[in-house]
Amino acid sequence: MKVLALSGSLRAGSHNERLLRAAAEVLPSGVRLERWDRLRELPPYDPDVDEAGEAPAAVADLRAAIADANALLIATPEYNGTLPGGLKTAIDWASRPREDAALKGLPAGVMGATTGLFGAIWAQADARKALGIAGARVLERDLPIGQAHHAFHDTEHRLADPDLQAALEDHLNAFLEHARQDAAAGVP
Ligand SMILES: Cc1cc2nc3c(=O)[nH]c(=O)nc-3n(C[C@H](O)[C@H](O)[C@H](O)COP(=O)(O)O)c2cc1C
């Protein structure tokens, strides 16, 4: 199974990147996490540019990467109470053309890390909402990592608190089960 991983952060040293790295460490064999890291190359969605076939190459690359994946896993910070604009832009590009959208029917899950207390719960809720409206089959569940600057192990790719690490593993198990159920049901 190929899981495409998308971080909503462009920041070097991003806690959400670290969360994806921690996820990659514990995924079972047979599940490959593939990062898509060209978010900063995406302009805001423009229907005129899209319909004229003039979108930058990163758009086609994103759509192909999503189409080639069995599932999508997003790790997102929260910006001003919602998901970062760059991540929303990626969802917008991947939601069109409507009838043949890369996201259509794709199992998707979200998790989130912030330096604040609440672990990007609003960003995760909004990301799920946008993904669902875009046609993805969304796992309706959060993984909030608050105070992310203290949350990760200093030297290993995992969360420092064993309970939080267990919550990550539980979240990933639920995500993989969701992805497999969709595959078993014959959803493309
Ligand atoms: C523009 C901006 C807005 C932010 N708004 C929120 C917010 O609404 N809620 C929150 O918990 N954290 C907020 N933060 C803090 C980020 O969630 C925090 O910096 C987080 O570590 C960013 O994720 P990253 O480490 O993956 O880059 C904001 C940060 C920025 C730069």
Distance of CA 115 from the midpoint of ligand 1 (Å): 7
Q: Is the pLDDT of residue 73 over 90?
A: yes
User: According to the model, what pLDDT value does residue 149 have?
Assistant: 97
Pocket mutation for ligand 1, best pick of 11, 14, 115, 145 (most atoms within 8 Å of C-beta): 115
Distance from the alpha carbon of residue 184 to the mean position of ligand 1, in angstroms: 37
| Distance between Cα 76 and ligand 1 center (Å) | 9
pLDDT tops 60 at residue 187: no
- HEC string of 33-80? EEECCCHHHCCCCCHHHHHCCCCCHHHHHHHHHHHCCCEEEEEECCEC
Ligand 1 site, residue 21, Cβ cutoff 6 A: no
Burial class of 52 by CB neighbour count within 10 A (0 to 12, 13 to 18, 19+): exposed
The single-letter code of the amino acid at 181 is Q
pLDDT grade for 184, boundaries at 50, 70 and 90: low
Nearest CA to ligand 1 atom 14: 79
Domains and CATH numbers, the chain: 2-184 (3.40.50.360)
- How far, in Å, CA of 93 to CA of 44, rounded? 8
**95 close to ligand 1 (CB < 6 Angstrom):** no
Is it the case that residue 49 has pLDDT exceeding 90?
Answer: yes
The closest of 186, 180, 185 to 28, measured between CA atoms, is: 180
pTM of the shown model: 0.96
Check residues 120 and 183 and name the one with the higher pLDDT. 120
Question: Given ligand 1 and candidates 7, 15, 111, 114, which is best to mutate, with the most ligand atoms within 8 Å of its CB?
Answer: 114
Tell me how far apart the alpha carbons of residues 150 and 115 are, in angstroms, rounded to a whole number: 8
Report whether residue 16 contacts ligand 1, using a CB cutoff of 6 Å: yes
pLDDT reading at 67 higher than 90? yes
Instruction: For residue range 135-182, list pLDDT tens digits in order.
Output: 999 999 999 999 999 999 999 999 999 999 999 999 999 999 999 996
14 lines ligand 1 (CB under 6 A): yes
Instruction: Let me know: does 1 contact 30? Beta carbons within 8 Å.
Output: yes
Q: How confident is the model at residue 186 (pLDDT cuts 50, 70, 90)?
A: low
DSSP character at residue 99 = G
pLDDT bucket at 3, cuts 50 / 70 / 90: very high
Residues 105-116 pLDDT 10s: 999 999 999 999
Query: Is residue 80 within 6 Å of ligand 1 at its C-beta?
Result: yes
Q: Which residue owns the Cα nearest ligand 1 atom 28?
A: 79
